Structure formats: C-alpha cells, structure tokens
Amino acid sequence: RAQGETVWYMNALNEGHGYRKKENRDIYQQAVILFLRQHLVGRD
C-alpha cells in the first residue's frame, strides 16, 4: 500500500489461522485464480 499498489486481503470471520472449512477454501481458491488472471495472464 505504501507504494500505491492495490493490496488483496482476505479474512474469514468463522476461522482462526488459515482456511480449514471447505466454503472458505473455495472462496480463497477463486480469489487466487482471479488475482493470477489479473496480474499474470498475458505477461511475458
């Protein structure tokens, strides 16, 4: 954030550390895919 970049942050309110519940893991995996598509796909 200090460099003016967008920061992605996820917090599952019904979890402690990590994502153990399937619902939260599914959401996390979709967020990772979206992040990679936005930041890596099409770059050389």
Number of domains observed in the structure of the chain: 1
| Structural domain harbouring 26 | 1-44
Determine the pLDDT at residue 1: 67
Q: What is the spatial distance between Cα 4 and Cα 11, in angstroms, rounded to a whole number?
A: 22
**pLDDT per residue over 1-37, tens digit each?**
678 888 888 899 999 888 999 999 999 999 999 989 9
CA geometry: angle 32, 38, 13, nearest 5 deg: 35
Q: Which residues contact 31 (CB under 8 A, 6 or more apart)?
A: 8, 10
Determine the pLDDT at residue 44: 58
Determine the pLDDT at residue 32: 93
Selected residue with higher pLDDT from 35 and 42: 35
